[in-house]
Chain A
């Protein structure tokens, strides 16, 4: 039973990542790979603050998200000049640079050895360390993320994002400062991804660079595309299916030396099938242009 709750918590964290990436990729049409870098910087920030300075995880969460948002602005800058596959490569590259920093700046991050013993959240004197209590914490943030992104996209501001996705040149002709909107979207998307990163760190109580590889970024992208670009419900469904399904493989008694590559093979196959046959995913109404 506890294992089931654990799966739900991981699902919740991925849902936040997927929703935040959907804002950038699905609604605004910006080919942003490397999303996990935001979670990475926030996770390390709040972990290091808690471990080295004894700072409360709540503050760490906020500061981590803010730092992630700042990184979002940095990563968003190339998006002002680059399109489509070139932007994908640039953001992909920035993701690898962040990973390299986590891996090589050993004096700060302990590199591949990782950071163990990350303290959990506490509320009113109680530690949020049982799975049940953590589930409530994560679901609260999932709700906040969902509402925030729903509000953002369901508005005149959101309409302009969709315009940028459809045709940037026409959006400029309508008097909208496209660059400003692109940067805002990266900052906001990065902020929520940062929240997911901190939630992950204080739950698993251990992080190392291997949790934040390129594969992770591609997995989140897959969740966005699979669920449907521009569909928030799709992101929830897509992330849920793609987290839960590989766990079923484990229930079939497969050893992890088979289950691990098999899971990735299914992800790879799914990406191909989606791009060739159903680019709008499960619930999406929009495709890449």
Chain B
């Protein structure tokens, strides 16, 4: 029993890690909570549904097109909503509220187009899971864990080693200094949105192979992704994996003795405890303090 819970915790945790990774890359460059990231995640799944199920397109091409469209959606959100706010020097709260607006708008647009019913990407019967160490795990779930780990490594290497990754870190730590050495912060922000949103798209498609597609799927994803990022240490890539796995395990072990419906309450309870006691998260990233 407990092995299954631990396994479920790792699976859920991997999903949160995937969402948190994309969210974190974006957060590094813009320093506010891009709540609408959740709806890009959902859109990715719906794009895949459109191509693969509705238009019967080849699965690989469906996947690639969907990820590209998700990426473009993220870029569009930045251009049309966040960019004007940057020009106005808006406080972080304003970005968050605008992001809520984007989220609500797109989620309901998806509902308008596709309806509120549950859709699925599966075309065949559900395959049985494998039995390992007293717990059951399906192929898709294995895929989720593997992909999340690979993407974590890729993202970490990308941020630490690549030229663009260095630029992202420069813009993140010192925007003015970055401009002095000739880094165009707008281009970097665009890149971050492109990559982060693409990752959201990938995650959305992956998840909809495991569970189903419905308009509200983005809400839970982004909430948990954000909580994972914050408890791991906002802006930190290793923090995303620590926070994601910690959250997944805490939720699933936490409901061992109590009903499953309390998962959300547990997740937010953990968030609030961290916000009050250790806002810099597990990895201890410094949040900006006000100058007196």
Contacts and interface: CB of A to CB of B under 8 A. Distances in A.
A254 to B, nearest CB: 11
17 contacts: A89-B226, A89-B230, A89-B275, A93-B271, A97-B264, A100-B265, A257-B116, A265-B105, A265-B108, A265-B109, A268-B102, A268-B103, A271-B97, A271-B101, A275-B98, A275-B101, A288-B91
A258 B111 CA distance: 9
Contacts of A31: 93
Chain A interface, DSSP helix/strand/loop, else mixed: helix
A272 B271 contact: no
Contacts of B268: 93-94, 96-97
Interface string A253-289: 0000110011011011111101110010000000011
B253 to A, nearest CB: 18
Q: Which of A86, A96, A103 is packed against the most chain B CB atoms within 10 Å? A: A86
Contacts of A267: 101, 104
B133 interface: no
A96 B101 contact: no
Contacts of B129: none
A265 B116 contact: no
Interface of A: 31, 78, 81-86, 88-90, 93-94, 96-97, 100-101, 103-104, 169, 215, 218, 221, 225, 257-258, 261-262, 264-265, 267-272, 274-276, 279, 288-289
B198 to A, nearest CB: 23
Interface string B84-113: 110010111111111011111111110110
Interface of B: 32-33, 81, 84-85, 88, 90-98, 100-109, 111-112, 115-116, 215, 223, 226, 230, 259, 261-262, 264-265, 268-269, 271-272, 275-276, 279, 290, 292
Contacts of B81: 272, 275-276
Given A88-B96, A265-B109, A272-B102, A103 B271 contact: no
Contact of A272 (B32, B105, B115): B105
Contacts of A96: 223, 264-265, 268
B228 to A, nearest CB: 13
Contacts of B292: 169
B112 A78 contact: no
